[in-house]
Amino acid sequence: MTTAVRGALALLAGAAILLGCTKIDATGRTAAGRHPWTIPGVLRMATNADPKSLDPVLAASTPTLELSAFLFSYTVFYDDHARPVADAVREIPTVANGDVSRDGLTIRYKLRPNMKWHDGAPLTCADLRFTWHVVMNPHNNVVTTDGYKDIRDVDCRDPLVAVVHMKKLYAPFLQQLWSVNGNAPILPEHLLAKVNDDRGSFNTAPYQSAPIGSGPFRFVSWSRGSQVVLRAFPDYYRGRPKLDEVIYKIMPDENTMATQLATHEIDMVFHGTPAILPRLQATKGVTVVTPPVYLYDHVDFNLRRPIFGDVRVRAALEDALDRPAMLARVRHGLGDLSNADESPAIGQAYTADVEKHPYDPARARALLDAAGWHVGRDGIRVKDGARFGFTISSATESTTGKQIEELVQQYWHAVGADVTVKNAPTPLMFDNTANGILQGGHYDVATFGWFATADPDDSAIYSSENFAPHGQNALFWNDPAATAAMNAGLSTIDWPRRVAAYHIVQQRFASQVPSIILWFAHEPEAYNDDLKGFTVTPVITTPFWNTWQLSI
């Protein structure tokens, strides 16, 4: 053995001794006041699906949206009370401060000075204008054009002020334009202008898997199916983030997440299902919260399928579901039942004055009989020689989705429906092109969760003017009265008038049953109690909003 090797072993032995002698006080914490398993400055968290893209413009799945709160800048975020907080802008544009004209047709976004992209280039009004061009390019597979399609032009004579001229008033501009619900953070013109062409180059650009943003953290690496690593951006315009590194691990099995939280290999589990709540609550050194969020689980009908063309069939299938029992089984009661698309707990325009569909299997059978679907010899209904059979789809990785499918199968079989499960991996389920299960209409019935925002407008997913794949209405619901009410809600900034419009939307939704709203969730979030500054936003980037303030 050489002296050099002996010396190395001696150093290793010394290191082992030093590590073994870390001081722990009576509370189980180190001298620095942390748990011994905490890695100072490093947040390790997990999600159950690999992103399809790291650019929210092309992907509506939750992993992409969660990471966007670290990587990108939006005009505003929404805090833990669903209140708008200025992000890239110096102040929130309002009529009161003169940044929104009284007719709502001119909006002024005053950008913060000294904002930089992660490559050091300045962020200016030109980047907002360019992002609008990206969203409106028909060759780009964007999630939604809602709101952006109502922009006439963006005036950038002042590089730090974007003056937006609208074709018509668009009331929820704050949550939609360069904001979290619009699926379009501010994008870098100097890096992407060359791929925003008529050949769809933007969709496959290397940027989509290695983005350069302007948020508090910069992209480092993406090991597909394993993890995404981000590091603090020292020139972030609010100051250097308090965390040094974020490790975002991909774990399709939430039981593995709960185990790794218990063994302190990760610091945070979010979007957990209530099934693992007892394990999370029993984990040492972990804080668990269950706030109401704008997440609702639902069962969608593909209304281009003739079998669902009769509203009596859809109403019967809703009547056949014991939603209180399903909520108890799937979410351990953590949720609020609703018959339409507004949360009873935190919805700003919620109304209880809608048609109700309580569990009533006798009524369900009567409705199906009236619609011409009669029970056959094997218990499955038949009409004109066709069986009452169809598929139900969810994301393969979704524990909640699979639980809902199992129960829906049982309840619907009891009234004479033959339902077959046909799931798909998350990237394919939510592929934002015509190849996607939802966007391409390649499903009969689908169940998944929507994250919404504080504004009651859901026209992006329910208006007949936003059919997939160029919009998000993948139900293909075409209800003139509902669409007219949505447009009325979009065309005024008078709040009482907007609320009245969204009451009509909810009433049409509940009576026409294009989708069955199961419940709005209260979502378990569990995290290492050494993590400071963390509060949960109930809106679309749940749970993150103030990522620059997090510390551990």
Backbone torsions φ then ψ of 261, nearest 5 degrees: -70, -40
- Domains of the chain in start order, with CATH, are 55-209 (3.90.76.10), 217-291+524-549 (3.40.190.10), 293-522 (3.10.105.10)
Per residue of the chain (552 residues), what is the pLDDT tens digit?
A: 333 333 332 322 333 322 333 344 445 667 678 999 999 999 999 988 888 899 999 987 889 999 999 999 999 999 999 899 999 999 999 999 999 999 999 999 999 999 999 999 999 999 999 999 999 999 999 988 989 999 999 999 999 999 999 999 999 999 999 998 888 999 999 999 999 999 999 999 999 999 999 999 999 999 999 999 999 999 999 999 999 999 999 998 889 999 999 999 999 998 888 889 999 999 999 999 999 999 999 999 999 999 999 999 999 999 999 999 999 999 999 999 999 999 999 998 999 999 999 999 999 999 999 999 999 999 999 999 999 999 999 999 898 999 999 999 999 999 999 999 999 999 999 998 999 999 999 999 999 999 877 899 999 899 999 999 988 999 999 999 999 999 999 999 889 999 999 999 999 999 999 999 999 999 899 999 999 999 999 987 779 999 999 999
| Token output for 53 | 């893209």
Per-residue confidence (pLDDT) for residue 540, from 0 to 100: 79
Report the alpha-carbon distance of residue 19 to residue 13 in Å, rounded: 10
Q: How far, in Å, CA of 40 to CA of 50, rounded?
A: 26
pLDDT of 2 reads: 38
What's the pLDDT at 11? 26
Contacts of 491 (CB under 8 A, 6+ apart): 168, 169, 171
Kindly report the three-state secondary structure assignment for every residue of 122-138. ECCHHHHHHHHHHHHCC
Q: Distance (Å, rounded) from C-alpha 91 to C-alpha 220?
A: 31
